Amino acid sequence: MIPSAPVVQMEHVRHVFTSVDGSRFVAVDDLTLEVREGEIVSIVGKTGCGKSTMFNLLLGLENPTAGSITVLGRDPYQDFDFFRAKFGVIFQTDRLLPWRTAFANAKVGLEILGYSEAEQGEIARHWLHKLELMGFEDAYPHELSGGMRQRVGIARAFCLSPDVFFADEAFGHLDQSTAQRLREVFLTLIGETKKTCLLITHNIHEALEIGSRLIVLGKPSRVLYDVQCPTRASRAELVEFEERILDIIERNEPHHEAAARARS
Amino acid sequence: MRTKALEAEIAAVSEDAGAVTRGWGALASRKEPVISVLIILVMWQILSLFLPRYLVPSFATIIVSFVEIVSSSTLMVDTLRTIMRIFIGLGLSFLAGIIVGVLMGFSNTLEKYILPVLHFIMGVPALSWVIFAIIWFKPVELRVAFILLAGCLPNYSLIIHDGIKGISRDYYDMLRAMRPTRRQLFSKLVLPGMLPAVLTSWKVNIGLATRVVIVAELVGATVGIGNKLLLAQELFDMPKAVAWTLILVIFLLLTQYLLLLLERHLLRWRPSKEGGIQ
């Protein structure tokens, strides 16, 4: 197998917030990780471990205090405009613009790209159809259920045919069965596009279900454990695996494999 | 940072507007407003039997005056002039106010400079502006426009500024992840995001301008409802004074109702307010 090109690289990234009273808060501490093309990586960690900060750093919305970040070979903060329509982002809350209908929300990225009305309509309708939202194009977000809103959010991300997908707790606020159904849909679509995907979550089941690789983050954000997800594992093995992950998160110390890698 | 007074005004206006729709929509089905108005009218009519016409005129005389005004050309001349002044004043204030509001919304530095000035201006009584206007300017229309501008601009700026500040950072980040141009960010986020505030600012200021314009017209205007009210006062013609006031109130209710219809259309994306705290 030919090793594919790295899509996301974070090297010794550190991010410190300084509040108004001068106190400092380390959100990300010496974070080093690499994601290769076509990989679907789940990132798990406790809430408040700086996952969202990491997310903002990857999107180029903030500049890290130290270290370097490259996405698709460029710095997302410095080369801000290079990333026009390169990211497909699915947020924790759907972040649909309340004054836009489902259809208008789905195509907002295409408007930014300057597509013609006809193209916008065609692409948006295609993805709304894929996400089983036909008949709801003209509904405003408040008229849709949480699950449907997140579907629109997913359609909005796929409309751009981006190079890399980021999902931040994308199914976290939905009820179990809705979340389960939506995860399946999302996984299928990601599988079809064969694009790189980073999924941030606090739910280990979700991480294992979607990801082919799992990264455990400590608090502040640093890699505690980086492992390929077990495929075709027995039930007992899966339980053992999950317990190991939970234990690492709880102790907030690097797993010996990660520690060994850091030393080498 | 809204002042308490402004907050109260906005609350009062939205309540007014609500009452207006309910009044129009369900007048037939709701007896309470009809009854309370009837009680006031009956009390007024009873008083008018005991008090002289120049203090409490009977309905008959008020209606006669009203019909007199409505059927004469003066209705058109004076009312239209006053309404024109209101809208010119509001238009100018809105243009200036939206610029100031947007600038403050985008620049923290400008916000720090401008906000205290606006709060200071808000504290100046309308009558002081009237006096300044007389001293500073000669043309009547300029005086009126200035007084309305001084009265309405801070409201526009503060409410619109508030509206921009209230746009969620989540939406901003969501769009920024797609790398829009500044112009796109403005047209797709800021403009629709501040629309509710713009409508509120109009609702607040229509009422304010209608009240202020009358005071402004007392300073040398020879045409306009303010002038007609002054004449009525000089002649102790209470029926006329009441009739002219009624015309103003009708104008205000009508414009507020139209604004409400506009708001319903423009903000149809908002969830209905059913299930509020009352």
Most confident of A102-111, A173-182, A195-204, A206-215: A102-111
Q: Which residue among A59, A93, A98 places its CB closest to the CB of B177?
A: A59
Which of A87, A98, A108 comes nearest B188 by C-beta?
A108
Please give the Cα distance from A52 to A101 (Å, whole number): 27
Distance separating alpha carbons of residues B270 and A142, to the nearest angstrom:
7
Q: Which two tokens stand for residue B24?
A: 């129009």
Min Cα separation A249/chain B (Å) = 28
Which residues is A14 bridged to in the sheet?
A: A66
Across chain B, mean pLDDT equals 86
Is the pLDDT confidence value at B277 over 90?
A: no
Beta bridge partner(s), residue A201: A44
Q: How far is residue B220's CA from residue A8's CA, in Å, rounded to a whole number? A: 73
pLDDT at B98: 95
Q: Which domains does chain A have, with CATH numbers?
A: 1-86+191-264 (3.40.50.300)
- Chain A residue at shortest CA distance from B269: A99
Strand boundaries in chain A, DSSP class E: 6-18, 24-36, 40-44, 66-71, 87-90, 164-168, 196-201, 213-217, 223-228
Say yes or no for a CB contact (<8 Å) between B171 and A93. Answer: no
Span of A51-55, A93-97, A251-255, B102-106 with lowest mean pLDDT:
A251-255
Task: With a cut of 50, say whether residue A46 has pLDDT above it.
Answer: yes
Spatial CA neighbour of B217 closest among B73, B85, B91: B85
What part of A 104-123 touches B (C-beta under 8 Å)? 108-109, 111-112
A195 has a pLDDT exceeding 80: yes
Mean pLDDT within B157-178: 94
| pLDDT value at residue A243 | 86
Asked if the Cβ–Cβ distance from B171 to A89 is below 8 Å, we say no
Question: Quick check: A83 and A73 in contact, CB under 8 A?
Answer: no
Mean pLDDT of B242-261: 92
Q: What is the mean pLDDT of residues A94-101?
A: 94
**Gap between the Cα atoms of B192 and B57, Å rounded:** 50
Contact (CB<8Å) B195/A99: yes
Q: Mind listing the domains of chain B with CATH numbers? A: 4-20+66-266 (1.10.3720.10)
pLDDT at B278: 46
Is the model's pLDDT at B34 over the cut of 70? yes
Contact A56 B173 (CB under 8 A): yes
| B203: pLDDT strictly greater than 70 | yes
Closest CA in chain B for residue A102: B269
Nearest Cα to Cα of residue A100 among A139, A147, A158, A154: A139
The predicted structure's pLDDT at residue B76? 79
Q: Above 80 in pLDDT, residue A101?
A: yes
* Euclidean distance between CA atoms B8 and B13, whole angstroms: 8
Paired residues of A168 in beta bridges: A200
Instruction: Please tell me if residue A103 touches chain B, with a CB cutoff of 8 Å.
Output: no
Percentage above 70 pLDDT, chain B: 87
- At A20 the pLDDT is 79
pLDDT at residue B188 greater than cutoff 80: yes
**pLDDT tops 70 at residue B171:** yes
CB contact under 8 A, B180 and A112: yes
Which of B170, B267, B271 is closest, CB to CB, to A95? B170
Q: What ipTM was reported for this prediction?
A: 0.89
Q: Which residue has the tokens 């994601």?
A: A35
Q: Do B178 and A87 make contact, defined as CB atoms within 8 angstroms?
A: yes
pLDDT at residue A1, as a whole number = 46
Q: Rounded to 5 degrees, what angle do the CA atoms A71, B167, A131 make?
A: 60
CA distance B160 to chain A (A): 18
Q: What is the pLDDT of residue A145?
A: 92
Chain B 193-232, residues with CB within 8 Å of chain A CB atoms: 193, 195
State how far the Cα of A168 lies from the Cα of A183, in Å rounded to an integer: 13
Question: Per-residue pLDDT tens for A11-38?
Answer: 999 998 888 787 888 888 888 889 999 8
CA nearest to B10, candidates B278, B206, B252 = B206
Tokens of A67: 């270290």
Angle, to 10 degrees, between the axis of helix B4-25 and the axis of helix B140-165?
90
Asked if B176 reaches chain A (Cβ–Cβ under 8 Å), the answer is yes
Between the alpha carbon of residue B244 and those of residues B84, B90, B225, B262, B274, the distances in Å are: 16, 21, 7, 27, 37
Who among B171, B177, B184 is closest to A89 (CB)? B177
